Structure formats: structure tokens, C-alpha cells
Amino acid sequence: MTLLGWLQILLFFALVLAVTKPLGLYLFHVFEGPTQPLPKVLGPVERVLLKLCGVDPKREQTWVQYTLSLLAFSLFSVLLVYLLQRLQHVLPLNPQGFAAVGPELAFNTAVSFTTNTNWQAYGGESSLSYLTQMAGLAWQNFVSAAAGVCVAVALARGFTRRPGPEGQKTLGNFWVDLVRGTLYVLLPICTVYALFLVSQGVLQNLAPYRELTTLEGVKQTLAMGPVASQEAIKMLGTNGGGFFNANSAHPFENPTPLTNLVQLFSIFAIPAALTYTYGKMARDTKQGWALFAAMSVLFFAGVAAAYAAESQANPAVAAAQVAQAGNMEGKEARFGISASALFATVTTDASCGAVNSMHDSFTALGGLVPLVNIQLGEVIFGGVGAGLYGMLVMVVLAVFIAGLMVGRTPEYLGKKIEAKEMKLSMLYVLIFPLVILGLGAVAAVIPQGVSSLNNAGPHGLSEILYAYSSGTGNNGSAFAGLNANTPFWNISLGLAMLAGRFLMIIPVLAIAGSMVGKKTVAPGPGTFPTNGALFTGLLVSVVVIVGALTFFPALSLGPLVEHFLGQAGKVF
Amino acid sequence: MFSTLLIGLRAALVTLVLTGVLYPLAVTGLSQALFHEEANGSLVTHEKGQVVGSALIGQGFSRPGYFQPRPSAAGNGYDAAASGGSNLGPTSQKLRDRAVAEAGRLRQENPDAPGPVPAELVTTSGSGLDPHLSPEAVRWQVPRVASARHVAPERILAVVDAHTEGRTLGMLGEPRVNVLQLNLALDRRFGESVGTTAEAP
């Protein structure tokens, strides 16, 4: 580890900290303000869009209507992305003449982008047309992120709305939230962001691949495409599905250390800002900062561990008796150890899943960090929206545990947390390991599972665990040696992604629906304050205990065993 | 229920046209107007005007008079239409064998090189298209390049220094040298490298 390496990490965090309040306020105005920003310019556009969708913006929805709207939208999302891939050979903007994507892969990719996972079983530059990338993948990058924010905002409304005399039962309107999130937040930022990326060297064209002869006379084909427009929303929406197979390691996606910093920043920007938005909605910004603090503690723990581990020599390369200043297998020279370890931590703290180095080639403990980050539920800033609602479920658990300790009915923001909310929270918590460990166990013993592995020994188990953690956690990064483009993996990971998105969103919205109508009571002397350092500490413990204890046995058979065997010089 | 489905379909189509068609096309138009060169691949031309590569994409070099890049896992090596890393883990036999073989080859081709082989030269990058090397990995190759070109090492070093980029803002990323640009500069300065290839092309 070097001082400059740590300075990069601190600079990144300072930028995130600086944007949290202004962007958080902006988001508050977009979703909760009586009027939205730029009413003269964007107001008419919003009204036209809602009219085209056939939505009455004044009609509020109950949690059931809100959920059904989200499910209906997601259904057509999957269908349209599937059709675009299956028909790409007859649709325009396919200069390389790629054939239709096969049914299992098209299903996997459609689900992957609709669920904000962006798992890449496909190789972008070798199988998808420009139209599929733009109208299929970039489209879902926008709206799946916006949908995540919708769920977070709905849950926040559930906790923070004060019911009227007859008891308010509604959570807002999904369609209005969806359109506002896209129009006021994602689209304008991405337009500027994409142009910045192009200025640094990211591609943005619709030309066929460029053939050339290298200096030594060898033919080289440069993949082309509308990369920057997709790259911007890929990072800002914590999607993470790369235009190219190598994702943000590819110099045409992430050409300079500056683009790398901006990409990192854009992963955390909205999730961090949403904690402030939440504090505003709770009429006590300290409530938001308490969440921000808990997330920050976990972030720094992760990045320190990953950076320390990747600064060690790679044991497999050690036999070549070369000068190792860290593990450079799978890393780019322009980023080096620090910016690669930081990227791996940030992309898995959030549910982004973009990579600027290959996690599969990390040291055993370096690769453990992204895996654990995902398994903690991606609540460390987390996905756009998904991080906040995931963390709020952890808050419910923490408040419940605090209530047990003092022997009082737990309450949060003045509303009582009762058996129903606890059951729903536990459902949310349990679905996650059930899918990961259940499917992982199956894949580890059947030939269709293990035949896809790229690495033998304990690292093979890590590849399986990572795949299902990433899919169920809607992350999308990978131990990418695993050949995931087989019918078994495409279908099982597709199902894991669906479960990880919708089976977890439904309990969240049910909690919102159950909380929204509850009366608020003034805090008494026995109320456990949820806006201070004590609560932040308790919240961090709950996140770590729930996540770590669930997965520790599996992790000890993968990365931990591999670490000790690697130190002993064993290879597989 | 039916009306929710209908709104769902309409909203899907409306957002698809807005974010999946209008937005990327608008960005493409603006990029082509404002940053034409960057948007189309930052192509590098030879002095005769022929395109020989992209400033951002690595390419293979094997002649002793050229600096050699890192090994590449993209396709059969520096295939810019099939990016990717090796994805070999830290206890992989394949990774160990490859690193040992590469290090052996490098030691044989660089008998006068100072110190042990830099690890960068035996490890593949994440993209397989890494256009850069660290200054250390370039300097290590200077004796070989100098003797293949019959030029004093100091003159080669001067070109290397002129092509070394520092950290952005003094702290971001790592110091680096663009291998294609460096080799082009050598050709401009000392004439084209015509030496035999180090191994079968």
C-alpha cells in the first residue's frame, strides 16, 4: 500500500461526501417537492410523457397497486429486451451482421438488465447489435435504475408519511416516480457525463468495426459502437453491464485514470445522496447521516482489506521469480493496484457490477472482499434505490434488536414496528441466502454446473458462489472465468436474478404499505434514538452478523481455504 | 388489472424511445460534432498517413527493436474485437506455467536487462488490450531495444522519458508509457525496426 494509493481513495470519498447533500436535496425536490426543478423546460415534457403512458399523475396508489405497476412494467421490459435480441438479425443498426441471440442467453440477458443486475453471459462486441445495446440494454439501464429509486422512495414514504385523520394508505404513484426519476435525474446527468467520456476517448459512433494493419503488419479489428451513452448510465444507474466483454477494464470504456475516478464517483453518487433525501423526508437529516455513517464504516473496512490483499504478490506468479509489487494479473497498468482494489470494492458495495480489473484473478482474500460485499446485501451505499431500501430493512432489524434489549415495543421514526413488519423483513433477509446457497449447492455437484469452471480446487467453488451471489444480489460482476453461457447457467442464474429482485422488492413494498397508515407517537424517554453514533454502531453490527454468519461456512471452503493453500505454494 | 398492463406496455414503449433511441442518437450526434477523433477510436497514423492502430488499444509487438507489451488474453492476443482477461486465479497451475514460461523467454531475450523481470510483463491485463506499461517495465527492456537498433541505451532512454505520463492530478492512476506511441517515436527517431522477429510471428 502506498500513500498515493490511499490519497486516491480519500479523494474519491471526499467527492462522494461533497455531493451527498446537494444531490440529495435535488432528489428530494424531484420526488417530494411541490414543484419539480426546471418547471418551464421539463414540466411540459413530463406531462406529455405521462399522457402518452395514459397515467393520471394525481392518483396515488396503495402498496398493492404500486407493486403491480412495477411488475407490469418489468414484464414488458423482459419481453421487449428478449424480442430485440431474438430479432436483431432482421432489425437495423447491425453492421457486423450478428445472428439472433439464442433463446437461453436472450432470456438471461433480458432478465439481467430488467433486474438491474447486468450479468454478462454474452460478449458485447462479439454478439450484440448496436440496436440491441441501445434500445435494449441502455434503455433498461435507465428504467431499472429508476424503478429501484421508486421502491426506495415508496418505502421512505411508508416510514415518514404522517397519516391524516382517516389514515393515509397510499405510497405515491409508481409511473410518476418512474418518469420523474428518468427525466429529471438520470437523463440530464447522463447526457453531460457521456460527452465528458467521449472527450476522454470513449467511443460514440454507429460505424462498422475498423480494420487496420498494426505497426508489425498484423491485422487488428477495433470494435466500435455507441459506447459512451451506455457507459454513463451503466455507472450512474449502478447497472454495470459493459458494452464490451472486458467492461470498464476496456480502454474504449474507461480510457484514463480520470474517467476511472468519475466512474467510481458516479456509482456512489445517487445512493449516497438518497440517504440525505431520506433524512429530509424524515424531517431529521441526522436520520440520513446515520445511515451514511454506517455505510461509510463498512466501505472503508472493505477497501482497506481489498487494497492490502491486492498489494501482496500473486502466489501462482511467484514461481516465475519476477519482481511483484502487488498482484497485477487481470489489472490494467494505467489503474494499478489501488484504483483496481477501490473499484472492486465500490462496484460490489453498490449493486453495480462493472469491473476495471478481473476479480477472478484477485488474490484469495482480495477476491473475498467483493464476494462478502455482495453477500452483506449490497447495503453499503448499494444500488440506486436498492441500497437504501436494503439498508432500511436492516434498520428495522436493528431497531427490533434494540427493542428486545430494553424490553419495549420497537419503534422507528415514531411508528411502531410490529410482528407483521418483522416477518416481512425476515422474509427479505432469508430469501437471499436460500437462493444463493441452494442453487450454489446444486451447481457444485452436477456436471452441468462444474463443467463451466475455469479454475480447479477451492477457487472453483468461489466461482460458483460468486456467480449466484452476484445474480441474486443483482450485482452482475463475476469471477468471469466461469463459462456462464450454457443452458444450465443461463436459466438458473436468470431465475436467481428474478428471485433476488422481485421476491425482495415485494416484501419491501409490503412493509411500506403496512407502515404508511400507522400513527406516529412522540418520542418518550424509552425511545431508542436512531440518529446517533450508537445506532450507527448497532446497524453496522446487524449488517455484518446477518451477512457474515450466513455465508461464513461456504466462504471458508472457498476463498479462505484457497488463501492458506496458496501461501503454502499449492496450485490446482 | 388490464389497465395496469396497458399502462405498463405504453410506459415501456415511451421510455424505450426516449432513453434507448433518442438519447443515444443525440449523444452520438453531439459527440461526432464536438469530439470527432475521440468518438471514432483515437486512431494513430504512421508518418505515411496509414492508420496503424488506436492510441488507446494495445497491439502485439515481437521484434526485438520494439518495446513489447504485456501478454494478452484477448482472443489469440490483442484481438480488439474480443476483449477479456485470463481469469486465472491465484492458485491456478495454468497461471503458474504461463508466468514461468513467459519469464524464461524474457530472460533469454533480454540477457543484459537489469534485475528480475517486472511482474507486469508476465501477467495479462483485464481487457487484454492494455496499451500501457509502467516506466519500470519499459526501462527493463531498454538494453535489448538499444542493441537491436544499434543505438546507445541513453538515447533510447531519452525517448522513453519523453513518452512517460505521470499520475493525473499528481495522484490518480499510475505513471505509464503508451507502447504503440513509444515504438512509433523510436521509428521516427532511429528509422523503422526491421530486425528479425524474436520468435515465429
Q: Can you tell me the ipTM of this complex? A: 0.95
Partner residue facing A54 (CB), from B7, B120, B137: B7
pLDDT for residue B200? 35
Examine the pLDDT at A185 and tell me if it is beyond 70. yes
Which of A51, A131, A321, A334 to probe the B interface (max B CBs under 10 A)?
A: A334
Whether residue A35 lies within 8 A of chain B, CB to CB, comes out as no
Closest partner residue to B85 (CB to CB) among A179, A358, A562 is A358
Do A528 and A535 meet the contact criterion of CB atoms below 8 Å apart? yes
Model confidence pLDDT, tens digit, residues A220-255: 999 999 999 999 999 999 999 999 999 999 999 999
Q: Is the pLDDT of residue B193 over 80?
A: no
Mean pLDDT along residues A477-489: 95
Render pLDDT for A355-364 as a digit per residue (tens, 0 to 9): 999 999 999 9
pLDDT in tens, A247-262: 999 999 999 999 999 9
Contact A572, A456 (CB under 8 A): yes
Q: Where are the domains of chain A?
A: 3-211+227-568
pLDDT at position A138 over 70: yes
Residue B197's pLDDT is: 45
Look at residues B68, B80, B120, B172 and name the one whose alpha carbon lies nearest to residue A340: B172
Average the pLDDT over A348-375 and give the result.
97
DSSP β-bridge partners for residue B43: B54
pLDDT band at B177; cut points 50, 70, 90: very high
Mean per-residue pLDDT for B120-133? 98
Q: Which of B42, B92, B194 to mutate to test the interface with A (most CBs of A within 10 A)?
A: B92
C-alpha cell at A218: 498484423
What is the spatial distance between Cα A453 and Cα A459, in angstroms, rounded to a whole number?
Answer: 9
Residues of B in contact with A191 (CB under 8 A): 23, 26-27
Contact residues, chain A, for B79 at CB < 8 Å: 220-221
Contact B19 A187 (CB under 8 A): yes
Cβ contact (<8 Å) for B96 and A195?
Answer: no
CB-based contact B27 A191, cutoff 8 Å: yes
Contact A249 B168 (CB under 8 A): no
pLDDT tens-digit map of A295-332 = 999 999 999 999 999 999 999 999 999 999 999 999 99
Give the CA distances from residue B36 to residues A223, A250, A434, A485, B134, in Å, rounded to whole numbers and listed in that order: 17, 20, 50, 36, 29
Nearest CB to B91: which of A80, A142, A566?
A566
- Confidence band (pLDDT; 50, 70, 90) for A11? very high
Subunit contact A76:B8, Cβ cutoff 8 A: yes
Handedness of CA A43, A45, A50, A51 (dihedral sign): positive
Query: Tell me, what's the pLDDT at A405?
Result: 87
Burial code (b: 16+ CB inside 10 Å, e: under 16) for B140-174 equals: bbbbbbbbbbebebeebeebbeebbbebbeebbbb
pLDDT at residue number B198 = 44
Q: Does the structure show a pLDDT above 90 at A482?
A: yes
Write out pLDDT tens, residues A35-46.
Answer: 999 999 999 999
Q: List the domain boundaries for chain B.
A: 1-40, 43-190
Residue A559's region, left for phi above 0, alpha for psi from -120 to 50, else beta, is alpha
